[in-house]
């Protein structure tokens, strides 16, 4: 399953190592850090987050389509 882990490099609630460890534990996960961001999603970056989040969603949709198309062919 396509996965994106977003983390701020100055997050005081969860150290950046926790985000990195989470991404490392998920096969193929992308780890994305934002300089100067804490444990929040600042409004000026919302459009960036939306585009970044959309990428794994599109990959998941593509995988779903391929898997279902293969099942249909086998019927």
**Which pLDDT tens digit goes with each residue over 21-48?**
999 999 989 999 999 999 999 999 999 9
Of 2 and 7, the one with more pLDDT: 7
* Distance in angstroms (rounded) separating the CA atoms of residues 2 and 57: 7
**What's the whole-model pTM score?**
0.74
pLDDT attached to residue 26:
96
Q: Is 31 helix (H, G, I), strand (E, B) or coil?
A: strand
Q: Give the C-alpha distances (Å, rounded to integers) separating 20 from 16, 61, 67, 68.
A: 6, 25, 30, 32
For the chain, percent of residues with pLDDT exceeding 90: 67
């Amino acid at each position: 399953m396509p996965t994106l882990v977003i983390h701020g490099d100055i997050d005081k609630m969860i150290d950046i190592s926790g985000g990195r460890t989470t991404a490392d534990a998920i096969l193929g996960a992308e780890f994305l850090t934002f300089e100067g961001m804490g444990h929040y999603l600042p409004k000026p970056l919302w459009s960036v987050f939306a585009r970044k989040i959309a990428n794994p969603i599109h990959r998941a949709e593509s995988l779903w389509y391929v898997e279902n198309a293969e099942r249909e062919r086998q019927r």
